[in-house]
Amino acid sequence: VTSSPPPELRLDWLRQARTGLPEAILTAGKTPAQLRAIVAQAAQEQRSLLFTRVSFDDFTILESSAVKPQHVDDCRTSKTTMLWWGPPRAPEQDRGVVVVSAGSSDVPVAKEAVRTLHFDNCKCIELYDVGVAGLWRLLQHAETIQQASVVLCVAGMDAALPSVVGGIARGVVIAVPTSTGYGVAHGGETALHSALCACSSGVVVANIDNGYGAACAALRATRIR
| Minimal distance, residue 210 CB to its own copies, in Å | 6
Closest distance to its own copies from the beta carbon of 49 (Å): 13
CB of 92 to its own copies, least distance (A): 19
H or E, element range at 144 = helix 142-147
Return the bridge partners of 150, or none: 97, 172
CA atoms within 13 A on the CB side of 40: 10
Nearer CB in complex with its own copies: 23/43: 23
- Phi, psi values for residue 100, rounded to 5°: -115, 145
The closest of 62, 113, 112, 121 to 89, measured between CA atoms, is: 121
Q: How far is the CB of 108 from its own copies (least distance, A)?
A: 8
The residue (of 86 and 88) whose beta carbon lies closer to its own copies is 88
Q: Which is nearer to its own copies, 43 or 141 (CB)?
A: 141
DSSP for 148-181, please give it: -SEEEEEE-TT--HHHHHHTT-SSEEEEEE---S
> By C-beta, is 43 or 184 nearer to its own copies?
184
